[in-house]
Structure 1
Amino acid sequence: MDKIAARITSDATPTAPALVLRPWQPADAPALVELGQDAALRRWTTMAVDDEAGAADWIRTQQRGREAGTRFAFAVLEPREQGAVERVVGHAVLNGLAPGASSAEVGYWTAARARGRGVAPRAVQALTAWAFATFADAGLTRLELLHQVDNTASCRVAEKCGYALSGILPASPPAYPHDGHVHVRTHGA
């Protein structure tokens, strides 16, 4: 596990600051509570955090997944101002890793203030590159990105990041009440 990064970076662009992806920390709980109030985030994700206790529990779940080597969740951060403290603008996760498995799932969400500014595609690109660089030797050759069929913004993010639409995943209520798109990216693509 020496190659498991504590930080992943996405370079700055002419119009956007650099992003840093790092594991969620207990100190992120207040930001997570604030982000968890976003109606759009609640609509498109299963992340439901209402208070600091719930945020702390959610963060502990992310940490347990990292320790088990099955889930690598990252807070997506950007600087508030030049050289100032970074703020949480999203979440990116590599999930479903298993020894010898050839595929895993990439997921993400962004704060309302970060939408439409290229945060999601840059975070997904950085996570994808890291996942293949870190786990290809262990057999990882395929990443999937799933979203509800009516989430056109996530469809655009997947396409920008080189994840081709490969099929429709039927709804499975109550956890997944709507059909989903399955986007796939293979190592080297």
Structure 2
Amino acid sequence: MTSPDYSFEQAAQEAGSRIVAGVDEVGRGPLAGPVVAAAVVLNPARIPDGLRDSKMLTARRRAALAEILQDVAQVGIGSASVAEIDQINILRASHLAMARAIAALPVAPDHVLIDGNMIPRGLAVSAQPLIKGDARCVSIAAASIVAKIWRDRVMWDLAQQFPGYGWETNAGYPSKSHKAALQNLGVTPHHRRSFKPVHNILYQDKSISD
């Protein structure tokens, strides 16, 4: 399997964009917690070895790379809350998180490379979507790592407040134990009510009470 490289950033720079950021999000599939995005501007002279799509790395390697990236790159983090996810839908919320991550960068980018096939609405910067960007573009791979680590820490913190759902290990994704806990312990304020498994439990409970 080929590693992501710096060719997309280089092409954008050769076309006149001085500062190029990679953007990715994590957390579209979980039943609980925010969706989190990261934007990363790499220094081509200080790209850490081993940057990959975060899903291809061990938890320890992800954590180590995320720490290195905080030192050698420009990083912005953005998120959209459960309330926003339920209000505007998960796709728009993930795009909102991306826009917030770009805005949070310490330096304003001239161009952004975005994982996926869509550009968030209303971006005030030129953008290029890249399907499977985290496997092709090293800046997007870096963003996927930072976003994953950030969101996992959020879910670990929430797990301390709401034990029993396994968020410290499943990060809010619909594992068998998480779905069983939903049935047994009920819906928390951090569950996405617009997602079918959560909605069905709420609807079922309402039907019983009616």
Q: TM-score, normalised by structure 2?
A: 0.24
Higher RCO by CA contacts (8 Å cutoff, separation 6 or greater)? 2
* Larger helix share, 1 or 2: 2
Larger Rg, first or second structure (1 or 2)? 2
Greater strand share, structure number = 1
TM-score with structure 1 length normalisation?
0.26
